[in-house]
Chains A and B, each alone.
Chain A
Amino acid sequence: MPASIASAIAANRFGLGARPGELALIGGESHEWLRAQLRAPAPALSAPGLRSSAQILAQALELRRESRAQRKVQSAASPPAPENAVQRLPQYLRPIYTLEVTARLQHAVSTERPFLERLTQFWANHFAISIDKLFIAGLAGSFEREAIRPHVLGHFSDMLLAVETHPAMQLYLDNYLSVGPHSPAAQRRVRREKPRIGINENLAREILELHTLGVGGGYTQQDVTTFAEVISGWSIAGEGGRSGGGDPGRFLFRAELHEPGSKVMLGRRYTQEGFAQGVAVLGDLAAHPATAHFVATKLTRHFIADEPPPQAVARLADAFTRTGGHLPSVYAALVDAREAWLEPLAKYKSPADYVVSCFRGLSVPVEADRVALTPFEVLGQRTWQPGSPAGWPDRSADWDGASALLKRIRWADAVGARLGNRRDALQLAPQLLGANLSAATGEAVMHASSAAQALTLLLASPEFMRR
């Protein structure tokens, strides 16, 4: 494979889309350019105004408590609650979302380690949470900063534990409410003849199905139920008006909600008490061969092809198992996979890929307001809203719908109209597409009837739709 095609693959498939000058910088050193991005520690994402999940959530819980109290007072005094009392929580959470998304986008557009950032986004999508749940709008960004980013160049097991003990995941998949049927709290209620409380198996199931073993990973319904008991009591301080101390908004293990006793799961007995039991199970799940295979398959699908070549999957899974889930070793196997370098445009860009690659290619400044978020929404991929814990899908057929394509073209045309006079499409075309630039696209850009149209044609070209 010529070096020029390799650099286009490195920048556009492994990275987030070439910025002007990036292909020249990579030159003949595509593998090394990618590997170098994995060496230094992953940087923290910082921007003025970003706060921790605990701070955000503590304030949100307080606001909710106030508005509930207010509603009670008002309904007692009979005039209907004014709109603003109900709206305070969304009004508090929405600006946090905007701030987080723009910080993330600014970083994606400007980073010189785009492979690392794509990996970060891959993991955030693997452990997807969705802003369909109100509180998640305020927590999705800090969740990614706290549970994903610090571990992208670390071990899978550490990321897994950070994710499952993060308040955002506890909230998103309902586990903070889950109560062991023989826990002290449940037994107390039985004695007082109050409505029973008990297990919620949502998080336990999705950890097995979506985060670790995968749906064919060999677990049973009984394993799901047992696992839910194992992680009963994993909760959030200050949520639900329950006692138990802790700092509001932080993860809290509540012993009084935890199902006591040893448990058998996936054929293994866990005799640990309390929180340690769940940690032990997560550790075993992280080290399970099914997890290695599942993670390797998803990475291969994302970076190599919709139908992952089995041999590449096997090599990644092997690297995962051999190194105890040391992620940079898995990424190295990905970069080394021969299959990754065979097909220059193997993947159809998701809407987010498309928008970010436009921003990078045209050096579009990311404004710190909602304007920058609009294209993601218009093109069908609002950040952190995949709508389900499975995350965004990752195959061409999921994104290449007719209407979706026409929208992309129209959006490209709007970008062309706005920036056509300030960007030289003819000069940019080889810088963004490198060896993938087709003769047809080159001709079309050259003979365009205006600078704006030239830019539209570049962004609408078949090779820019793919990576």
Chain B
Amino acid sequence: MERREFLRRGALLAGGTLLSTSVAFAHADTHSSRFVLVILRGALDGLASVPPLADPDYAELRRELALHPAGEAGGALPLNGFFGLHPALGFLHDCYGARELVVLHALASPYRERSHFDGQDVLENGTPRPHALQTGWLNRALAAAPVRGAREAGVSVGQNVPLVMRGPASVTSWSPSKLVALDEETLARVSDLYAGDALLASRLADALAADALASGEGAEAAMTMPQEAAPGAKGKARYTDVVRAAAAFLRPEEGPKVAVFDTSGWDTHANEGSAQGQLAGRLAELDAGLSMLRQELGPVWKDTAVLLLTEFGRTAAINGTHGTDHGTATAAFLLGGAVAGGRVIVDWPGLSRRALYQGRDLAPTLDVRSVLKGILAEHLTVPSRALELEVFPDSAGARALRGLTRT
């Protein structure tokens, strides 16, 4: 039945392209724990997503984009009295209430410039510098974690593998396709042709393994669209369908245990909106996708931790075009049944002009690598030594933040 659903989803996915979203998976033999990393590319506005409503400087910096306090019409959703949650994040708010969401704030990677592309590179390569390594921290963590015997360490929904998942651990990619599979004889001949080409031979083997995982039994499944995804916005259906596919890979006992998605569209330079508008629409879409992820993961949600990260934040003050420009620290979210939630973890630096980083951005007080070390060590049982040496080189200053998940 699961396989059948999965195929249906595959058929649906084939209808759209995956230009704005991709998913990668990997095995990690860490009892039953699942880990999902969602990269929000484009720099999420942390001050809009998790507004510091009680900060005395917030309203003046955010002007017409400032969210109203909890309780007012269109107001933020209440968190802990000081912070609120953007009203489009209803599911996340429910998770907070159920103690399944940790909100992290004033967090940043070691990167201190404002290029999206270098910022994403640092976020993914796990070092303090852009382009210092051509592999990603999640892959290196998988390589260091106790790996089960399977040949395939992973699979990627999305044609290619994002940097965070590239590296020594064998990782593959999977994406839905309308293209017809080759007959066995032709496929065998192509494989023979790749015998002398290590890269293509391993990629083809990886792809076929992922394909087998994705199809399995039930190839006759009805190619119909799930009801909820049928009408309405095309982009939304596309994103939620990728989420469904990810869940279908993660759910089985014998499947991969780690997934990476990415989403884009967070670069809100102009007309960002407030309780409603451009960013609110993106957040609502993200929120709906996460809600669907929980639903689709079903019984394994209790073993799952989902981490949402972005490369950096945005300016504390709004710019001249009702938006925000590239900034520094931002918010992140950790949710799931395995998360010790219901908390906002922050060492709040304040928003006074003196407190702002370079007089313009929320100042970072928490290193993203501390969060990652804590999750990888406790949820995925990656040895600490490996975390310090291979996974996050030059990170001695970022000590693991413990207790984020229930172990």
Contact = CB atoms under 8 A, between A and B. Distances in A.
Given A403-B156, A410-B180, A201 B64 contact: no
B173 interface: yes
Most buried by B among A396, A402, A444: A402
Interface string A220-245: 01001000000000000000000000
A404 B173 contact: yes
Contacts of A457: 186, 189-190, 193
A382 B116 contact: no
B207 A456 contact: no
B320 A413 contact: no
A413 B196 CA distance: 21
A277 interface: no
B114 A411 contact: no
Given A404-B160, A411-B179, A444-B193, A456 B186 contact: yes
B12 to A, nearest CB: 16
Interface in B345-361: 358, 360
Interface stretch (A45-53, A60-68, A112-120, A176-184): A176-184
Given A402-B156, A462-B200, A414 B179 contact: yes
A380 B160 contact: yes
Contacts of A378: 17, 177-179
B70 interface: no
Contacts of B323: 174, 200
Contacts of A177: 270, 320-321
Most buried by A among B17, B134, B156, B178: B17
Interface in B79-129: 113-118
A91 interface: no
Interface in A366-416: 377-380, 382, 385, 387-388, 390, 396-407, 409-411, 413-414
B270 A201 contact: no
Contacts of A181: 320
B378 interface: no
Interface string B372-392: 000000000000000000000
B203 interface: yes
B269 A215 contact: no
Contacts of B172: 402-403
Contact of A178 (B173, B189, B203, B320): B320
A387 B20 contact: yes
B221 to A, nearest CB: 20
B190 A401 contact: no
A291 B175 CA distance: 38
B269 A200 contact: yes
Interface in B249-300: 264-265, 267, 269-270
Nearest to B41: A388
B312 interface: no
Given A406-B208, A440-B193, A461-B193, A197 B177 contact: no
B365 interface: no
Interface in B196-235: 196-197, 199-200, 203-204, 206-208, 210-211
Nearest to A405: B203
Contact of B321 (A178, A377, A448): A178
A414 B183 CA distance: 11
B186 A413 contact: yes
B189 A174 contact: no
B325 interface: yes
Interface in B154-192: 155-161, 166, 172-175, 177-182, 185-186, 189-190, 192
A460 B177 contact: no
B334 to A, nearest CB: 26
B180 A405 contact: no
A173 B182 CA distance: 43
B156 A198 contact: no
Contact of B204 (A174, A402, A444, A449): A402
A405 B207 contact: yes
A200 B193 contact: no
A397 to B, nearest CB: 6
Interface string B120-149: 000000000010001000000000000000
Nearest to A417: B180
B367 to A, nearest CB: 21
Given A397-B134, A402-B156, A403-B156, A174 B321 contact: yes
Contacts of A224: 114
B9 interface: no
Interface of B: 17-20, 41-42, 63-64, 113-118, 130, 134, 155-161, 166, 172-175, 177-182, 185-186, 189-190, 192-197, 199-200, 203-204, 206-208, 210-211, 264-265, 267, 269-270, 319-321, 323, 325-326, 358, 360
Interface of A: 132, 173-174, 177-179, 181, 186, 195-202, 205, 209, 215, 221, 224, 377-380, 382, 385, 387-388, 390, 396-407, 409-411, 413-414, 438, 440-441, 444, 448-449, 453, 456-457, 460-462, 465
26 contacts: A174-B270, A174-B323, A196-B320, A197-B320, A197-B321, A200-B270, A200-B325, A205-B326, A209-B115, A209-B117, A215-B118, A378-B178, A380-B160, A390-B116, A401-B203, A402-B156, A402-B161, A403-B156, A403-B175, A407-B159, A413-B180, A413-B182, A413-B186, A453-B185, A457-B193, A460-B190
Task: Please name the 10 residue pairs, one residue from A and one from B, whose CB atoms are nearest each other, closest first.
Answer: A198-B320, A401-B160, A402-B207, A410-B179, A406-B207, A404-B159, A402-B206, A403-B173, A200-B321, A177-B321
